[in-house]
């Protein structure tokens, strides 16, 4: 086996964002682009010689080719063993599970998550550490630093591995094993949830529909929902992962998962609907006549998780990202649980989970998860919901309304302005930052600003400090608006505006969130001059 050392030069802009490096697929396909970044990963994590690595992705266009390159580079670096999902597939949570189960050094996960795929779509790559979670900031900083000093990369001159054939082979010192990506995950879910109770619910006539959006979760959802739990064949739709996600956009929001939302709103809809994203870590759940916001889902799961066997012992604590609504805080307060507020990015939950401080975490961006892996987990959330529905024997709508009656309802919405001119978006945020000291006392749209700050996080486990994580403006009535720029977009800047208000009055819980939040929305636009500065009259996506 020949190992080639290829001279190269640093490539600008290989800075990992909220979740690894995400770029246009064509950018990744440029000669040397992927190779440079993989070499930088290997350098940033301290080398992979003699190490076990898990490799897989969400199956999007270029996934297969990228995996072959990564295999050859890991072989050239003398990795001990590479464990690869059949067909090059691993959902993000399944990869996290396998890393943990094998005690691997880490994993390379290929995905741009909810971003569209295809040659003209997006691609992404991230490194997960031995805890199964996304690399923390000190590691992503080291990887970025390595991209700026790289002079060469190493790659083994070997034939492509047949990713469709299960089994082990050897290249140089490296054992390469292609494994079933689904089996270990199914086993883990069986340990956490009462499959017999969920199966009995389904047998009694309860119907469900799961939209896998032609992405990574399809095979897992088929195996569990239809295979193990007895849901009718066809309950899992768009189940086959495709390189272009069937021409769709694998983001389970009301725009891109419209097929599911429309079905659930129709007279023939199911009792329970759910969808996940490109790499299977996000989820949304819908009941008959009830859409659950991700922030509410976290709160409801926190209030009810003990009904599933894997969480019967109760929760150690809960965590949410800062822009996620305060609904879960109210559950934590009532149950006497610690509640942590972290920056956006699942990597920030890793230390809290590893230290046993929290059991459940969640984000407004359709992510919920627990200490069973170190990633958010779409199908896990769906199964926890089904377990709760099976035990309580009530509809999702009833459960949600009872929850609001007990804890109050936190109205919540996120407005996204996508592909905005980067200078304009940065200018908007910088201006708000400059205005912060003078904002308290300002009256706007009938609301009075109580405080304004730029969120900073002091990690209670390792003491690291992360600054500038979003401008928070709190109003006297408890309403809140948060402004931040996305770290996962691949075109211009995406401005995210997170809006919420708390409503204790049950009589008002039935309102539409956009109506209930009208004043907060108006205040946000006036304060930040959103329309004028972005040139947009309305958000591109409302969730």
Closer residue to ligand G16 in complex, CB, 296/363: 363
Q: Would you state the structure tokens that stand for residue 385, as one six-digit string?
A: 């919901």
Task: Single out the residue of 72, 77, 197, 282 in contact with ligand G16 (rule: CB under 6 A).
Answer: 282
Q: Does 293 bind ligand G16 (CB under 6 A)?
A: no
Q: To 10 degrees, what angle do helices 63-76 and 33-44 make?
A: 50
**Nearest distance from C-beta of residue 174 to ligand G16, angstroms:** 28
Q: Please tell me whether residue 415 binds ligand G16 under the rule CB under 6 A.
A: no
Of 77 and 347, nearer to ligand G16 (C-beta) is 347
Listed ranges 72-80, 234-242, 360-368, 441-449: which one lies at the site for ligand G16 (CB under 6 A): 360-368
Instruction: Tell the smallest beta-carbon distance from residue 278 to ligand G16 (Å).
Output: 8
Q: Are strands 52-57 and 21-24 parallel, antiparallel or unpaired?
A: unpaired
Q: Does 490 bind ligand G16 (CB under 6 A)?
A: no
Q: To the nearest whole angstrom, how small is the minimum distance from the Cβ of residue 422 to ligand G16?
A: 14
Residue from 496, 516, 527, 528 in contact with ligand G16 (CB under 6 A): 496
Which string of DSSP letters, residue by residue, matches 287-299?
Answer: ETTEEE-HHHHHH
Rounded Cα distance between 297 and 283, Å, is 10
Strand intervals (E) in 288-347: 290-292, 317-321, 338-342
What does the per-residue mask of binding to ligand G16 show for 99-138, with x meaning CB under 6 A? --------------xx------------------------
* Nearest distance from C-beta of residue 257 to ligand G16, angstroms: 14
Three-class secondary structure assignment of 144-199 = HHHHHHCCEEEEEECCCCCCCCCEEEEECCEEEEEECCCHHHHHHHHHHCCHHHHH
Out of 113, 297, 365, 501, pick the active-site residue.
113
In which residue are the tokens 């209670």 written?
460
CA–CA distance, 356 with 181 (Å, rounded to integer): 27
- Please, what is the minimum distance in Å from the beta carbon of residue 285 to ligand G16? 16
**CA 151 – CA 505 distance, rounded (Å):** 63
377 binds ligand G16 (CB under 6 A): no
From the CB of residue 132, how many other CB atoms can be counted at a distance below 10 Å?
A: 27
**Joined tokens for residue 422:** 């980067």
Residue among 61 and 346 whose Cβ is closer to ligand G16: 346
Contact 90, 181 (CB under 8 A): yes
Sign of CA dihedral 195, 365, 328, 477: negative
Task: Pick one of 14, 18, 297, 368: the residue that binds ligand G16 (CB under 6 A).
Answer: 18
Residue 270 or 318: the one with the smaller Cβ distance to ligand G16 is: 318
Residue closer to ligand G16 by CB (options 344, 351) is 344
Pairing mode, strands 122-128 and 443-444? unpaired
Q: Does 344 bind ligand G16 (CB under 6 A)?
A: yes
Piece in contact with ligand G16 (CB under 6 A), picked from 221-229, 287-295, 454-462, 480-488: 480-488
Query: What Rg, from alpha-carbon coordinates, does the chain have?
Result: 23
Residue 513 is encoded by which pair of tokens?
A: 């969130």
Tell me: does residue 411 bind ligand G16 (CB under 6 A).
no
Decide: is 249 part of the binding site for ligand G16 (CB under 6 A).
no
C-beta closer to ligand G16: residue 305 or 495: 495
DSSP 4: E
Tell which one of 122, 281, 377, 479 touches ligand G16 (CB under 6 A).
281
Alpha carbon separation from 510 to 233, 237, 393 (Å, rounded): 35, 30, 22
Q: Which residue has the tokens 């309950």?
A: 235
287 touches ligand G16 by CB under 6 A: no
Our answer to whether residue 113 is catalytic in this structure is yes
Closest approach, Cβ 193 to ligand G16, in A, equals 22
Looking at the annotation, which residues are catalytic? 113
Residues forming the site for ligand G16 (CB under 6 A): 18-19, 113-114, 281-282, 344-346, 363, 365, 367, 486-488, 496
């Amino acid at each position: 086996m020949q190992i080639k050392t290829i001279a190269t030069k640093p490539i600008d802009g290989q800075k990992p964002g909220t979740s690894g490096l995400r770029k246009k697929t064509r950018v990744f396909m440029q000669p040397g682009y992927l190779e440079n970044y993989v070499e930088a990963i290997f350098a940033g994590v301290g080398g992979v010689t003699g190490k076990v690595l898990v490799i897989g992705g969400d199956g999007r266009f270029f996934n297969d080719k990228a995996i072959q390159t990564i295999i050859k580079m890991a072989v050239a670096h003398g990795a001990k063993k590479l464990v690869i999902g059949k067909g090059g597939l691993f959902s993000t949570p399944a990869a996290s599970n396998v890393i943990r189960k094998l005690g691997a050094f880490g994993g390379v996960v290929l995905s741009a998550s909810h971003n569209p795929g295809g040659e003209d779509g997006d691609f992404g790559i991230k490194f997960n550490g031995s805890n199964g979670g996304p690399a923390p900031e000190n590691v992503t900083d080291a990887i970025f630093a390595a991209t700026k000093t790289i002079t060469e990369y190493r790659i083994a001159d070997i034939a492509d591995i047949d990713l469709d054939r299960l089994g082990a082979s050897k290249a140089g010192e490296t054992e390469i094993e292609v494994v079933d990506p689904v089996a270990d995950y199914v086993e883990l879910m069986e340990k956490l949830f009462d499959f017999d109770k969920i199966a009995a619910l389904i047998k009694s006539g309860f119907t469900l529909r799961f939209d896998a959006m032609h992405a990574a979760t399809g095979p897992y959802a088929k195996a569990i929902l239809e295979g193990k739990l007895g849901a009718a064949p066809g309950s899992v739709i768009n189940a086959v992962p495709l390189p272009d996600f069937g021409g769709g956009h694998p983001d389970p929001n009301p725009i891109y998962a419209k097929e599911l939302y429309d079905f659930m709103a129709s007279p023939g809809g199911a009792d329970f609907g759910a969808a996940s994203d490109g790499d299977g870590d996000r989820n949304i759940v819908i009941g008959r006549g009830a859409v659950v916001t991700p922030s509410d889902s976290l709160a409801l799961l926190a209030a009810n998780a003990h009904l599933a066997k894997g969480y019967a012992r109760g929760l150690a604590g809960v965590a949410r990202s800062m822009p996620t609504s305060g609904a879960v805080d109210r559950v934590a307060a009532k149950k006497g649980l610690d509640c942590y507020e972290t920056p956006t990015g699942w990597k920030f939950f890793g230390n809290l989970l590893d230290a046993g401080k929290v059991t459940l975490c969640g984000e407004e961006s359709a992510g919920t998860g627990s200490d069973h892996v170190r990633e958010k987990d779409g199908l896990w959330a769906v199964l926890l919901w089904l377990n709760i529905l099976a035990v309580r024997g009530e509809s999702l709508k009833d459960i949600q309304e009872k929850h609001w009656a007990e804890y109050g309802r936190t109205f919540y919405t996120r407005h996204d302005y996508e592909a905005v001119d980067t200078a304009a978006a940065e200018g908007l945020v910088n201006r708000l930052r400059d205005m912060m000291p003078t904002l308290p006392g300002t009256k706007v749209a009938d609301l009075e600003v109580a405080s304004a700050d730029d969120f900073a996080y002091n990690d209670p486990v390792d003491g690291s400090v992360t600054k500038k994580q979003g401008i928070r403006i709190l109003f006297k009535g408890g309403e809140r608006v948060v402004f931040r720029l996305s770290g996962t977009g691949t075109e211009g800047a995406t401005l995210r505006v997170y809006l919420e208000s708390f409503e204790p009055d049950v009589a008002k819980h039935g309102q539409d969130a956009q109506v209930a939040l009208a004043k907060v929305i108006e205040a946000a636009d006036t304060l930040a001059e959103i329309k004028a500065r972005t040139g947009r009259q309305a958000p591109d996506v409302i969730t």
